[in-house]
Structure 1
Amino acid sequence: MRTILICFSLLCCLNFTYAKKTHSISGTVKSRYKEAIPGVSIYITKLQKGTATDKYGKFNLDNIPNGEHLLEISFIGYKTLIKKITINHTDLDVSILMDEEIEKLDEVVVSGDAERSTKLKSAITVEVVNSEFIDKNRGGSLMQSLNKIGGISSIEIGSGQSKPVIRGLGFNRVLVAEKGLKHEGQQWGADHGLEIDQFDVQNIEVLKGPSSLGFGSDAMGGVIHIKRNYFPAKNSLHGEASTSYMTNNHSLSGSVQFEKRTNHFLVGARATGIKYGDYRVPTDHVNVYDFVVPLHKNHLRNTAGQEYNFHFHTGYLGENFHSVFYISNYNAKSGFFANAHGLEPRKVDNEAYDASNSDIDKPLQEVNHLKVTNETTLKLGEHELQLLLGYQKNIRKEKGDYVNHGYMPPQYPKELDIPSDLERKFDKDFYAIKLSDKFKAKHHQLEFGLDANLQKNNIGGWGFIIPNFTQYNIGAFALDSYTLNKNLKLKAGLRYDYGHIDIEEYTDWFTSPTEGNNRGNLTRVESLKKGYHNVSGSVGLVYTKDAWTLKTNVGNSFRMPIAKELAANGVNYHYFRYERGNRDLSPERSFQWDVTAEWENNIWLIEFSPFANYFPNYIYLNPTSEFDNLYGAGNQIFNYTQSKVFRYGGELHLHKTLFDHLDLTSISEYVKSRQLSGEKKDYGLPFSPPFSTNLSAKYNFNSFNCFKKSYFSVDFRYTAKQTDIVPPEKVTDSYQLINLGMGTNLRFGRYKAQVNLQVKNLFDTKYYNHTNFYRLIDLPEQGRNFLASVKFTF
């Protein structure tokens, strides 16, 4: 640790002067009508230098070294340009013409060449979306806003909570990263959502497939990487104010942000607030395990919630050195559906809950997630050194009235030093560090890195599911992109991981009968210390020529068992089941083959992305014929076990532009799983998404006065019947949905207002999402929902 601190201090204190002759770039930016455009951002990503045009459309950038550079020229309402320029021992003057923007290819786009460049960095399938895509497809959570991407779905836990699923894999097989570091909460729980403020998202890269090389354990199914893709121009001030409203649960949200940059210093902040009520479903009753539960005015009792987030960042941005600190705090409180939580859904006071649709009553969850990170980059010639440091504090409390089961006392003991309404508490401290070096060596683009993390988890409350544990992971990796010729690149990587988990013994706070007619506090979990190691690797090819892009990749990935899989021993109050861990589980490994074939011209885009992968020891929760009447209140016992699993599937993306204004898009996805061994041999995997296709037609209107980028869209989504189930799962019927969208940008000089309207589930269709948590109790998805959002920027 002392060595790490010394290295970081040297990075932060080092002043590096690059002794190469430099020159200036100046020029003028005009519209196609030869009108000067003030306020245009001119940015050189490689140098992290930028400026803005003055009121005459003129700009100047000093201290630019000799060689080739890419200028990114962007302004609201105009197409972003990527212009290649060459400095050859002299100053350069350029003239730039910008076209007004008419959007193409939906909003799964960053900016032309920049988005394409991001996709070509990896041999696996990559999708890139920006904040505009999220604004136009906003849902109750970040993952609900990303569901339109092929191969991406979510496990829904209510109106404000969801978990990512990539090609049928979720939980600890999909890693969420923010600015290069793993986001670590309590993602092992089926009812634990992401602690992410979607208003603060600039850019997201979705990596479909094994990504352990760059991110380590938990990335075997893919990565949702939330990134910052630009810094503001020098001597600029930027701000935005956003608000949105949803009719289904009367969700009202607001977010304000500002960012100020001088020549080298940066400071910014954001505050977000969200409040919503019980959400509505298109049915007047649900069946909770053969018990009929009537719903008052079709609302789900106690699914209201609130969320308050704060973000702050500041740092230094130099030509060859930058260091930025980010601080955020996410705080949320939301209710659990009152009739589907606890051990006895019949004992619910419906009238009390039905008195208000906005109150947050018990059972409920309270989550606070503090995150402090630092990103420091130093450029030394051809080398780019980066150090990422992070600390996260996640506190999650589940509250509900005391319910005894097994040998727990019928009345809550007054002398017990635990609040009587605290079912469970999870308190996690997470420390992370990542150090990498990127550089070029002839035809090689190389990256070497080290990363490590440590997490300490403490539990509380009168309920029990997992014990206290401490875990650390260390990894080293090497990545290479070798240019074989101008059209073909070889991508390869190698990684070594070591992980260790230390699980503490857990003893009941209440007594139970023991041998000899005595009573005592039974040990539910014995202490356990285990270490795991693995070598992962991948090799792939990327071929580009004219309209074609072809990618293929073969690789393996690794995931060490988590504490819940090793040592769970308690009732899951959300699933009405008793879960038992398996301390003999081996590390999970996956071998995968990915292919991407893309052809694109000005009218067509055709992209096909098949995959196949094999798990020799997939970890899953297997239902047994046993019932626990002593500690599980008679609930069925589920044991963690392992089996061989083979999976295959893919996505097909078709897009055509007609008459320069009409975009037609089709995105289809398919996943098939099969267990090859174990008690569930020849079955699939639970929560596997069925085949689905989304057909979209979007008309882009010409700009008129202050109205820019106006559009109207119709989406038709077909989802097939899911019969490939694992008992006790039930078959999910097929369904069809129609969604509408429309919006425009209003521009007044340098000020802009982005307005978006949506109608989701236009015909109030009653349907079941096979990846939804509540599907197990026959609870349908949300009914018709009108959404309106406005974002002001300046």
Structure 2
Amino acid sequence: MGSIVSGSKPLAGVAVLLNHGQVLSVTDSLGGFYFNQLVKGRYVITIQAAGYEAYHNRVLVADTLIKLPVIALKSKINQLEEVTVVNSYATMRKRESTLLPDVVSQDYLLRNSGGSLMKSLEKLPGIKAIGIGSGNAKPLIRGLGFNQVVVVENGMKHEGQQWGADHGLEIDQYAAGRVEIVKGPAAIIHGSDAIAGVVDIQAPALPEPHTSGGAVALTGKSNNALWTVSANAFTRTQRWFVTGRVTATEYADYRVPADTVYIYSYAAALHKNRVRNTAGRELNLHVSTGWVGNNVQSVFNASRTYSRSGFFANAHGLEPRRVDAALHDASDRDIQLPSQEVVHYKLMNRTSFQFAGHRAEVQVGVQQNFRQEWNRYVNHGYMPAVYPAHMTIPSTLERQYDKTVTSLLLKDEWQWGNHTITVGGSGDYQRNSIDGWSFLIPAFTQWNAGAYLYDKWKLHPQWLVSAAVRYDYGQIRMKPYTDWFASEVVNNGDTMQQFLSRSQQALRSFSSVNWSAGISHTPGNWLFKMNVGSSFRMPIAKELGANGVNYHYFRYEKGNINLNAERSYQLDVAAGWNSSKASVTISPFLNYFPNYIFLNPTAAHDYYYGAGNQVFEYTQSRVMRYGAELQVRYDFLPHWSASLAAEYLYNRQLSGGKKGYTLPFTPPPSVLTGVTWRPAFRKGVSDTYFTLEWRVAAAQNRIVPPERTTPSYQLFDFSAGTRMLTKGQPIYVHLQVQNLFNTNYLNHTSFYRLIALPEAGRNIVLSLRVPLLWKAPAAGSN
């Protein structure tokens, strides 16, 4: 439809808006943009790009396609402002919503590559990851995680085994085109579980018509000798397109700045500072295809993510002293027992229709998460000392979970005066079966359904009001489970052998009405927002029916079948100011739970199954939470800029056995400051940067037993990168030195922090990305 340039240089990632943001497009790497689902009428086109004067023009759509000449933007300042997280698209999103989302691009993920997607996002204030080893991590938003955070990939809610801290996201970060994070309740759109917020992983933009190309990304890391190769290819005619990606990763045991770790008073020596048996490998495949018409667009996505990784051998099971250190230390790249293996399949279709001013969307999908935990058989309680030969379950299959989810989403959006009305609904059916010689949670089936109404009212170009309401209903049916071995039971003085029941059949139903309301005011360079809302979460199978040993924590966990649905009320406020040289944003929040669900340690110990481990029971209490995030940027010299990102969170339980205590995994206050130099080099080298970052994290002394306090720490990171042009071929190079001074520190949200295992030592990360364009569109074809 058109293209945008500055001089002769195409501008990528520029937001192009029609009618003040009611319709949006973003330019691709060649500066091109298009709208493929427009109805006839008059439109106002607006183009906003940092460092350039805004462009406004009126266009008339007389048929299904309009063509514009090349649009040349005029520079507003000599030097582009530094953008760490926010870009032109992000600025538009913040102005067109009563919420304040964080938006990161694919380039940001490459510049800040961690061991997983969530590790790559940890520099955002309010965002943390529960990390286990170097390849698995799950999100924490303002201290809340597990089933309180919804992860959406390509429009569909990602469903894995979210309940375990050792269960990472089965997501390929190289396949993400853009990630939007909403901090705060988002249950209106995404349903139950979105109490803490949403991590929305969006696919890359569709290829331009009549183009073919691809890209190769390479990453290497020194700490665990990691290598990653990710390659994608695409092709498109006028209407049809196909894209594909393959990502392969392999890594060794990671190193920490310590030679000994103490596991409940037992000293475990670390060979060459390596955390034994934390190596792993991944292989991920993605394919998408579809048809792009004037009024109809249909896209199919299929993916398979696979990972196999080891657990720290000394911190898994009932007896950390029974570890064959010589076997594990013989190689730092092998994967011995204990280990986990996960395969996640997804198949989905999203079809959108444009008719009579409406934009309707239908999405259907199915996904399967198949997870196995492997370990040597270790008996406890009344389990046989030797694994019986007649068992059909392999003696090394500790646990297995097989979860299949079928989902449907419907949405219709239309304009009614200055109102943008959205009506939507969703439903899914889940089936999770179990296997293995060890029991923790029962098998279950679950279904959920909900519908919502959302109104966004544009009172004025500077004023926006939103209101929404949603109804949800869900039902979970847990299946019975009986031990495969007999236990001794004393009844009226007589001792008998009995196969004990660990889980009874149970059926629970939950329903809720939730609402939200917000207002946004964006006068000039200022931004003011306020949003208030309620949300809820159904208890999961583990919270309702757990009854077994959690080998990762050396504890016995028991569910509570009588738990109520978790409810939350939250107030979010944001104020900010942005100019070409500086910006500042502060976003405080207040959150109240009348019945927060948590795992409470008791004075009891289990000897039937838990070898005397302490019993933890799921319970509920009233909880108050509040905090804030602060982001500042300042260009103090033509090529120099400084940034600051700070966060603070306070939790307190207001009732129950832990009244007065905080919540587990509560991150301490921290401040991340950075200084960036962006020099101007010779022709052919651009977008060069050198950044030094300094993180200061306070001590976390407010804990809930049996958590341990963590001391304060300071951490330095260095990064640099550039874009080189060789014979017309761009090459992007990024370098990071994480934990520059090899600091020994504890991350309060780390899985292994419970045994005082420090975080990874110094890590040098080198990333390269080479985009390839084999066939470009002919002049005037768009």
TM-score (norm 1): 0.92
The change in CA–CA distance for 1:84 and 1:324 in structure 2 (over 3 A counts) is farther
Counterpart of 1:107 in structure 2 is 84
SS in 1 for 2:484: coil
Q: Could you say which residue in structure 2 is the equivalent of 1:528?
A: 506
For 2:107 and 2:314, locate their aligned partners in 1 and report how far apart those are by CA, in whole Å: 38
Answering whether residue 585 of structure 2 is matched by residue 607 of structure 1, we say yes
Please point out which of 85, 100, 107 is paired with 2:57.
85
Paired AA for residue 533 in structure 2: G
Distance 1:501 1:625 in 2: 30
Equivalence for 1:585: 563
2:411 aligns to what SS in structure 1?
Answer: strand
Q: 1:484 deviation in Å?
A: 2.2
Inter-partner Cα distance in structure 2 for 1:434 and 1:256: 31
Structure 1 residue 116: deviation in Å?
A: 1.8
Superposed displacement of residue 575, structure 1: 0.2
Match of 1:454 in 2: 429
CA distance in 1, matches of 2:26, 2:625: 46
Is 1:365 aligned to residue 340 of structure 2? Answer: yes
Structure 1 residue ranges without an equivalent (≥5): 1-24
Q: Distance in 1 between matches of 2:509 and 2:570?
A: 25
Q: Aligned to 1:184, which of 159, 162, 166?
A: 159
Q: What residue is the counterpart of 2:290 in the other structure? A: 315
Name the CA shift for 1:197/1:120 in 2 (closer, same or farther; >3 Å).
Answer: same
Counterpart in 1 of 2:611?
A: 633
Q: Bigger shift: 651-660 or 164-173?
A: 651-660
Q: TM-score, normalised by structure 2?
A: 0.93
Question: Do the aligned partners of 2:665 and 2:748 also contact (CA within 8 Å) in 1?
Answer: yes
Q: Residues 300, 92 of structure 1: CA spacing in aligned structure 2 closer, same or farther, 3 A cutoff?
A: closer
The answer to whether structure 1 residue 393 and structure 2 residue 368 are counterparts is yes
Q: Is residue 194 from structure 1 mapped to residue 166 from structure 2 by the alignment? A: no
User: CA offsets, 1:739-767, max 9 Å, x none?
Assistant: 00000011246521110000000110000
Shift in CA distance, 442/63, structure 1 to aligned 2, threshold 3 Å: closer
Partner SS, residue 460 of structure 2: coil
Distance 2:573 2:551 in 1: 41
Between the two proteins, what is the percent identity of the paired residues?
43
Q: Secondary structure at the match of 1:104?
A: coil
1:238 corresponds to:
213
2:453 maps to a residue whose letter is: A
Q: CA deviation at 1:66?
A: 3.6
Contact 2:81 2:581 in 1 (8 A): no
Aligned partner of residue 465 in structure 1, secondary structure: coil
Aligned: 1:479 with 2:454? yes
Q: Deviations over 1:701-732 (max 9, x none)?
A: 21422111000000000000001111111110
**Quick one: which amino acid aligns to residue 570 of structure 2?**
Q
Partner of 1:790: 768
Structure 1's 223 and 169: CA in aligned 2 closer, same or farther, altered over 3 A? same
Partner of 2:399: 424
1:293 partnered with 2:265: no
User: 1 CA distance for matches of 2:321 and 2:613?
Assistant: 15
Alpha-carbon distance, 1:31 to partner: 4.3
Q: Which moved more, 1:479-488 or 1:291-300?
A: 479-488
Specify the alignment match of 2:485 in structure 1. 510
Distance 2:102 2:714 in 1: 25
Q: Tell me if the contact between 2:175 and 2:204 (Cα under 8 Å) persists in the aligned partners.
A: no
Once residues 82 and 517 of structure 1 are traced to their aligned partners in structure 2, the CA distance between those partners, rounded to angstroms, is 84
Letter in 2 for 1:157: I
Inter-CA distance 714–37: structure 2 relative to 1 (3 Å threshold): closer
* 3-state SS in 2 of match to 1:329: strand
Aligned residues of 1:47 and 1:320 also touching (Cα < 8 A): no
Shift of 1:552: 0.2
Which of 716, 722, 732 is the aligned partner of 2:700?
722
| Correspondence 1:642 to 2:617 | no
1:559 equivalent to 2:537? Answer yes
**2:193 partner amino acid:** D
**Displacement of 1:109:** 2.7
Residue number in structure 1 paired with 2:148: 173
- Tell me the C-alpha RMSD between the 2 structures: 2.5
SS in 1 for 2:682: coil
Quote the offset at 1:94 in angstroms. Answer: 4.1
- Matches of residues 142-221 of structure 1 in structure 2 within 5 Å? 142-221=117-196
Pair 526,60 (structure 1): closer, same or farther in 2 beyond 3 Å? closer
Q: Secondary structure at the match of 1:414?
A: coil
Q: In the aligned structure 2, how far is the partner of 1:497 from the partner of 1:87?
A: 42
Q: Which moved more, 1:744-753 or 1:711-720?
A: 744-753
Aligned to 1:772: 750
The residue type paired with residue 311 of structure 1 is: H
Return closer, same or farther for 1:336/1:37 CA change in 2, 3 Å cut-off.
Answer: closer
Note the C-alpha offset of 1:790.
0.3
- The C-alpha deviation readout for 1:529-562, integer Å capped at 9, x for no partner, is 0100000001111111111110001111000100
Instruction: Output the CA distance in 1 between the equivalents of 2:33 and 2:620.
Output: 62
| d(CA) in 2 for partners of 1:39, 1:235 | 18
DSSP 3-state at the match of 2:522:
strand
Aligned partners of 2:96 and 2:710: how far apart in 1?
Answer: 38
Distance across 2 between alignment mates of 1:177 and 1:304: 28
Change (3 A) 1:178 1:63: closer
Q: Helix, strand or coil: the match of 1:189?
A: coil
Q: Does the 8 Å contact 1:40/1:73 carry over to 2?
A: no
Aligned-partner SS, 2:144: coil
1:370 maps to a residue whose letter is Y
Q: Is the 8 A contact 2:480 2:501 kept in 1?
A: yes
Does 2:634 align with 1:656? yes
Aligned position for 2:777: none
Return 63-72 or 289-298, whichever deviates more.
Answer: 63-72
Question: Does the CA contact (< 8 Å) of 2:175 and 2:203 recur in 1?
Answer: no
Following superposition, the deviation at residue 144 of structure 1 comes to 0.5
Change (3 A) 1:40 1:361: closer
Q: What's the offset of the Cα at 1:53?
A: 12
Q: 1:572 aligns with which of 539, 543, 550?
A: 550
Partner SS state of residue 189, structure 2? helix
Q: Give the equivalent residue in structure 2 for 1:440.
A: 415
What secondary structure, in the 3-state scheme, does the structure 2 residue paired with 1:733 have? coil
Write the distance in 1 (CA, Å) between the matches of 2:535 and 2:589. 15
The unaligned stretches of length 5 or more in structure 2 are: 773-782
Structure 2 contact 176–204 (Cα < 8 Å) conserved:
no
Shift of 1:259: 1.2
Query: Once the two structures are superposed, what CA deviation does each residue of 1:92-150 show, in whole Å capped at 9, x if it has no partner?
Result: 7645325799653433134x1x2222123432331100011111110111000000101
Relative distance call for 1:326 and 1:63 in structure 2 (3 A) is closer
Contact 2:697–2:714 at 8 Å: present in 1 too?
yes
**Aligned: 1:491 with 2:466:** yes
Residue 344 of structure 1 corresponds to which residue in structure 2? Answer: 319
Q: Is 1:739 the equivalent of 2:714? A: no
2: CA distance, partners of 1:643 / 1:53: 51
Question: In the superposition, relative to structure 1, how do residues 265 and 703 fare at CA in structure 2: closer, same or farther (>3 Å)?
Answer: farther
Contact 1:107-1:130 within 8 A present in 2 as well: no
Mapped partners of 1:486, 1:84: distance in 2: 14
Residue 36 of structure 1, CA deviation: 7.9
Query: 1:378–1:384: 8 Å Cα contact kept in structure 2?
Result: yes
Quote the offset at 1:353 in angstroms: 0.6
Preserved CA contact (<8 Å) 2:367 2:405: yes
Q: Is the 8 A contact 2:85 2:104 kept in 1?
A: yes
CA distance in 1, matches of 2:743, 2:15: 48
CA 1:62–1:495: 2 relative to 1, 3 Å: closer
